[in-house]
Amino acid sequence: MKLDRFYPIFDNADWLERLVPLGIKLVQLRIKDRTPNEIRHQIRCAKTVCAQNDCVLVINDYWQIAIEEGCDWLHLGQEDLDTADIPAIRAVGLRLGISTHDRAELNRALDLTPDYIALGPIYPTILKKMKWHEQGVDRLTKWRDRIGNTPLIAIGGMSIDRAAGAFDAGADVVAAVTDITLNTRPEDRVRAWLEATR
């Protein structure tokens, strides 16, 4: 399956309801610090929006709820892999994306034959405290050589201006978070991203 080249990540289904109808075809719902009931409600709202707009929805982390709610895609970080039941995830046909930051994590991810590999942060990011410094686009090229045909996603400090360099270095998809959510005009920013990546 070929993934869309633009992959925004949002922490609330309200963002999806607002922006997915503009033409987003691949989106991640990454919720933190909510109750299971709130998470379930958010996922249901996101699923409805994405189904109405022919958009692939990726759920971050909550694999049990993703299975129960009949989701199609799941994203797991390295910490999530420690506790996730990968056989159960695969048994229901969930497609799986995995975050990587170094060679050991990449090897661990490849052992699970994921449906995509994410590398980050490519540039400094304000989104979360990380023990990894910026990876730079050169590492995208190294990852590209290692992972073969598995889709490669560049994340961390990405902007429209930086996207071309990530694609040139071997990324198939560029993920964006704060470049959209902290923008004073998120709708215009999404339209610009779509124009730049289509």
Digit-coded pLDDT (tens) for 161-186: 999 999 999 999 999 999 999 999 99
Distance CA 114, CA 54 (A): 23
Q: Which CATH superfamily is domain 6-197 in?
A: Aldolase class I (3.20.20.70)
Q: Are 150 and 116 in contact (CB under 8 A)?
A: yes
As beta bridge partners, residue 73 has 58, 95
- Between strands 56-60 and 6-10, the pairing is unpaired
- Give the tokens for residue 34: 């909510």
pLDDT value for 197:
96
Q: Which of 77, 80, 40, 73 is nearest to 57 (CA)?
A: 73
pLDDT value for 128:
55
pLDDT value for 77:
96
pLDDT value for 134:
77
pLDDT value for 135:
81
- The residue ranges of the chain whose pLDDT is under 70 are 126-133
Parse the chain into domains and list their residue ranges. 6-197
